[in-house]
């Protein structure tokens, strides 16, 4: 999976195959992931109260196992492992990881400052609402996001979706279009009047991850950065919810 590949031409068949593949893989990821999550929640609530934060965390973990099943299944069915550029980490990748984390938080804090200046509010995060009721949920999610959420979302949205669009249109259109797809699946993650502001921020952050993947040439870099970025946010949310900061 270490080498990039390109189609010889952007024929109608290439476009049909790529767009059809994207629709199928994203739809199946949501369906299979949701099914895995619901089945796990039903199983775990036989042993733990439904309000226990571990129930939600295990359900989330199962959801992203479902993402992985769909992603790897798609690549296997297509026998197209070169679509995803993946290598074991090198010293150069560590530099990209550090730079990527700095870039993501720079964009995040920059957007937050701009929103405050413009007096614009973001949407209400569904995860944040759940964690406020039981802060331990945030701590469980720090592990889930590093081990599963970051890697599996990157596999689907940067590895496959961006990979297919990049082959057809090149890096820049691929970054923009794949980030739109990435933002769209977070539609149910926010509520309230500012939800589209938050989705816009997700779009920008997805674009940063796509650029990082394009420049580093290694999906592992984007997966680690994504997971760590989420994990830091969950730790901060835990500290705030418990009144420690």
Task: Identify whether 70 is part of a domain.
Answer: yes
Three-class SS state of 170: coil
Task: Identify whether 5 is part of a domain.
Answer: no
Q: What domain count does the chain have?
A: 1
Task: Identify whether 216 is part of a domain.
Answer: yes
What stretches of 79-135 show up as alpha helix (H) in DSSP? 91-117, 126-133
Task: Identify whether 3 is part of a domain.
Answer: no
pLDDT at residue 2 in the model: 41
How many Å is the Cα radius of gyration of the chain? Answer: 18
pLDDT at residue 10 in the model: 72
The rounded distance, in Å, linking the Cα atoms of 154 and 150 is 6
Task: Identify whether 2 is part of a domain.
Answer: no
What backbone phi and psi angles, to 5 degrees, belong to 40?
Answer: -65, -45
The rounded distance, in Å, linking the Cα atoms of 71 and 30 is 11
Task: Identify whether 69 is part of a domain.
Answer: yes
The rounded distance, in Å, linking the Cα atoms of 205 and 212 is 11
Q: Which H/E stretch holds residue 34?
A: helix 12-44
pLDDT at residue 161 in the model: 98
pLDDT at residue 178 in the model: 98
Q: Which domain holds residue 235?
A: 12-82+90-241
pLDDT at residue 6 in the model: 47
CB atoms closer than 10 angstroms to residue 11 = 10
pLDDT at residue 1 in the model: 44
pLDDT at residue 8 in the model: 43
The rounded distance, in Å, linking the Cα atoms of 136 and 54 is 8
Task: Identify whether 75 is part of a domain.
Answer: yes
For residue 152, what are the CA distances in angstroms to 30, 62, 204?
Answer: 12, 11, 19
For residues 156 and 184, is the Cβ–Cβ distance under 8 A? no
Phi-psi region at 3: left, alpha or beta (left = phi > 0; alpha = psi -120 to 50) = beta
The rounded distance, in Å, linking the Cα atoms of 188 and 143 is 22
pLDDT at residue 12 in the model: 85
CA proximity to 81, closest of 90, 89, 72: 72
Task: Identify whether 166 is part of a domain.
Answer: yes
The rounded distance, in Å, linking the Cα atoms of 208 and 227 is 14
pLDDT beneath 70: ranges in the chain: 1-9
């Amino acid at each position: 999976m270490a080498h990039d590949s390109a189609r010889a031409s952007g024929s109608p068949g290439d476009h049909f195959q790529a767009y059809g593949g994207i629709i199928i893989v994203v739809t199946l990821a949501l369906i299979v992931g949701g099914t895995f999550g619901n089945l796990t929640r039903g199983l775990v609530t036989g042993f733990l109260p439904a309000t226990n934060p571990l129930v939600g965390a295990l359900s989330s973990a199962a959801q992203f196992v479902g993402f992985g099943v769909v992603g790897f299944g798609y690549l296997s069915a297509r026998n197209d492992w070169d679509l995803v550029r993946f290598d074991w980490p090198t010293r150069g990748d560590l530099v990209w990881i550090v730079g990527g984390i700095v870039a993501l938080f720079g964009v995040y804090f920059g957007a937050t400052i701009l929103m405050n200046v413009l007096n614009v509010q973001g949407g209400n995060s569904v995860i944040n609402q759940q964690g406020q009721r039981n802060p331990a949920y945030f701590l469980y999610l720090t592990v889930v996001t590093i081990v599963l959420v970051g890697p599996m979302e990157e596999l689907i949205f940067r590895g496959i979706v961006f990979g297919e669009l990049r082959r057809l249109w090149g890096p820049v259109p691929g970054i923009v279009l794949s980030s739109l797809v990435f933002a769209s699946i977070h539609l149910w993650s926010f509520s309230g009047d500012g939800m589209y502001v938050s989705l816009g921020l997700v779009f920008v952050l997805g674009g940063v991850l796509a650029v990082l993947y394009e420049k580093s040439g290694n999906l592992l870099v984007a997966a680690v950065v994504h997971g760590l970025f989420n994990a830091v946010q969950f730790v901060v949310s835990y500290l705030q919810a418990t009144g420690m900061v």
